[in-house]
């Protein structure tokens, strides 16, 4: 059978990638409803060679929608996701609006796909981009060797902030190269030729919300509240692809050779780890525009007997958001077949 699929936020950086990935993966789309704000309603987008009109979410009737992919921000999700679910749709929500609710599963398709079925509210949450790629790589190690602690620093590209953030990096870069003044709007300070240790809001404990997502979401997805996570999240002047320097401490010792062998046969992962120039993944040379989570620089921690270091890179808009959402839609579609 085919499905009535709606994309809420279809004109955004993630929404347009959701649309592209539905086509790439030949998702059985019967009817397609593309929704955005009044600002872009009436515009047209191509899907599989046909023109599809963008509709205004505020006046759209969700009855008949089977699967709705939401990526229009938390406040839009909070208001509209329950309405779509009440009308019978399964909602796959890319915002953080429902991620920490006990009755909403938080699912990485390679890690805890069984949780998709466990959705009393008809809503499934798509994890934060940084947690997503980290757990594709760490879940196999956790299952086999028991991860007790994770130290992670992220190097996050601007596309995680949506289209306006992509535009700001481009604009500032051009202005600075032509000796013009810049006027930061989308980021708190200059992002071009700089980096910013501040993503999302500051919380009372001095961490940012982006950092605490790595703590909360790791525990929920792995179903293990004992895992310790110590995060630092940094925005860097890269367009697409997040990178992460990750140091884990395991219950059982794991060697580089064992880790590599396990990761090479785990789903969604490509190991790129040669000790030579270019023998490691970067956002531009590997991740951007591709689906895998790339792992390189695998080393045993010099300072800890059961420590392992990894460098994890992936396209945050694809696996970190749109691709995982479509993979969850595939799991939902498989139930209904
Ligand atoms: P629009 O293009 O009409 O503003 P990004 O994350 O790249 O900034 O994209 C955000 C997406 O969410 C866009 O598709 C945007 O549509 C959509 N969006 C933002 N606010 C609303 C809203 N109030 N109602 C519907 N869609 C919204």
- Among 213, 217, 222, 221, which Cα is nearest to 144's? 222
In the prediction, which pLDDT does 336 show? 77
Distance 11 CA to ligand 1 centre (A): 7
**Residue 334 CB partners (closer than 8 Å, separation 6+):** none
C-alpha pair distances (Å), 156 with each of 169, 218, 236, 240: 13, 18, 6, 9
- Atom of ligand 1 at shortest distance to CA of 56? 25
Q: In the sheet that 67-70 helps form, which strands lie side by side, from edge to edge? A: 44-47, 50-56, 29-36, 3-8, 67-70, 90-93, 123-125
Residue ranges in the chain modelled with pLDDT below 50 = none
pTM: 0.98
Q: How many Å apart are CA 282 and CA 330, to the nearest integer?
A: 29
Show Cβ contacts of residue 243 under 8 Å, excluding neighbours closer than 6 positions.
Answer: 154, 155, 236, 282, 283, 311, 312, 313
Q: Please identify, by atom number, the ligand 1 atom nearest to the C-alpha of residue 57.
A: 25
Please give the Cα distance from 67 to 79 (Å, whole number): 17
Nearest-CA residue for atom 25 of ligand 1:
37
- Ligand 1 center–CA 14 separation, angstroms: 10
Q: 236 near 157, Cβ under 8 Å?
A: yes
Using left for φ > 0, alpha for ψ between -120 and 50, and beta otherwise, residue 195 falls in beta
pLDDT in tens, 263-281: 999 999 999 999 999 999 9
Mutate to test the pocket of ligand 1, among 73, 94, 95, 169 (most ligand atoms within 8 A of CB): 73
Check residue 146 and give its pLDDT.
98
Residue 162 falls in which region: left (phi positive, over 0), alpha (psi -120 to 50) or beta:
left
- Beta carbons of 152 and 232 less than 8 angstroms apart: yes
Which residues have any ligand 1 atom within 6 Å of their CB?
9-13, 15, 36-37, 39-40, 57, 72-73, 76, 162-164
CA 45 to centroid of ligand 1, rounded, Å: 15
- Residues 265-290, buried b or exposed e (16+ Cβ, 10 A)? ebebbbbbbeeeeeebbbbeebbbeb
The Cα–Cα gap between 33 and 17 comes to 15
Spatial CA neighbour of 126 closest among 200, 79, 74 = 74
Structure token pair of residue 299: 């080393």
Tell which atom from ligand 1 comes closest to the C-alpha of 41. 3
Q: Give 37 Cα–ligand 1 centroid separation in angstroms.
A: 6
CA distances from 200 to 161, 210, 309 (A): 10, 6, 26
d(CA 79, CA 86): 12
| Cα–Cα distance for residue pair 242/156, rounded to 1 Å | 4
Rounded Cα distance, 112 and 110, in Å? 6
The string of pLDDT tens digits covering residues 67-125 is: 999 999 999 999 999 999 999 999 999 999 999 999 999 999 999 999 999 999 999 99
pLDDT, position 120 = 98
Active site residue ranges:
129, 242
* Strand ranges, E, within the chain: 3-8, 29-36, 44-47, 50-56, 67-70, 90-93, 123-125, 147-156, 228-235, 242-250, 269-271, 293-300, 307-314
């Amino acid at each position: 059978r085919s499905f009535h699929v709606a994309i809420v936020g279809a004109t955004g950086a993630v929404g347009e990638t959701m649309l592209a990935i539905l086509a790439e993966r030949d998702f059985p789309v019967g009817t397609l409803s593309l929704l955005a704000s009044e600002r872009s309603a009436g515009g047209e987008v191509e899907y599989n060679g046909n023109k599809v009109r963008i509709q205004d979410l505020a006046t759209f009737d969700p009855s008949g929608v089977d699967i709705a992919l939401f990526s229009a921000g938390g406040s839009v999700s909070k208001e509209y996701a329950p309405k779509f679910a009440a009308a019978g749709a399964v909602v796959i929500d890319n915002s953080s609006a429902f991620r920490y609710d006990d009755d909403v599963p938080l699912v990485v398709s390679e890690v805890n796909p069984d949780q998709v079925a466990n959705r009393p509210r008809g809503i499934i949450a798509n994890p934060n981009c940084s947690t997503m790629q980290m757990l594709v790589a760490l879940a196999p190690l956790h299952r086999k060797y028991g991860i007790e602690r994770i130290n992670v620093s992220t190097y996050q590209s601007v596309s995680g902030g949506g289209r306006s953030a992509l535009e700001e990096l481009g604009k500032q870069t051009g202005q600075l190269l032509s000796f013009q003044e810049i006027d930061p709007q989308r980021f708190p300070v200059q992002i071009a030729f700089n980096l910013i240790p501040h993503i999302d809001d500051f919380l009372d404990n001095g961490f940012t919300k982006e950092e605490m997502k790595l703590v909360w979401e790791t525990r929920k997805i792995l179903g293990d509240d004992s895992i310790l996570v110590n995060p630092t999240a940094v925005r860097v002047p890269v367009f697409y692809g997040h990178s992460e320097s990750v140091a884990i401490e395991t219950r059982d010792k794991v060697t580089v050779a064992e880790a590599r062998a396990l990761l090479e046969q785990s789903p969604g992962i490509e190991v790129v780890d040669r000790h030579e120039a270019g023998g490691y993944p970067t956002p531009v040379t590997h991740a951007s525009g591709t689906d895998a989570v790339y792992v390189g620089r695998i080393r045993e921690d010099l300072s800890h007997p059961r420590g392992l270091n990894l460098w994890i890179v992936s396209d945050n808009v694809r696996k970190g958001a749109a691709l995982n959402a479509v993979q969850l839609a595939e799991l939902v579609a498989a139930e209904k077949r």
